[in-house]
Amino acid sequence: MSEAKKTTNHNEIQKWAEQHGGKPSIIKGTENDGGGEGLLRIHFPGKSDSNDSFEEVSWEEFFKEFENSKLALLHDPNGNFNKLVSRD
């Protein structure tokens, strides 16, 4: 793995994910009553463990929750490693 990069740029995140086959998703069952969408993930169908709890969402929904939760994406620019982390 090359050195991980941290970004909050929506265009950069979407472009990177789509180049590697990633889909904006939430993990079903993690929603809260306060209006939160649930735990965000970029899911790689066929490349990561098969998990039926992933629910694909639109990029618009993904980035709305991404901003509300003040997240950043830590990712490998040349692979599909990624982790959503706090911006702090």
Provide the pLDDT for residue 15: 97
80: pLDDT confidence band, cut at 50, 70 and 90?
confident
Helices 10-19 and 59-68 pack at an angle, to 10 degrees, of 130
Provide the pLDDT for residue 31: 58
The domain limits of the chain are: 5-86
The full length of the chain comes to 88
For residue 56, give Cα distances in angstroms to 1, 9, 45, 77: 26, 20, 10, 22
pTM beyond 0.85, yes or no = no
Model confidence pLDDT, tens digit, residues 27-73: 876 656 555 567 899 998 876 555 568 889 999 999 999 999 999 99
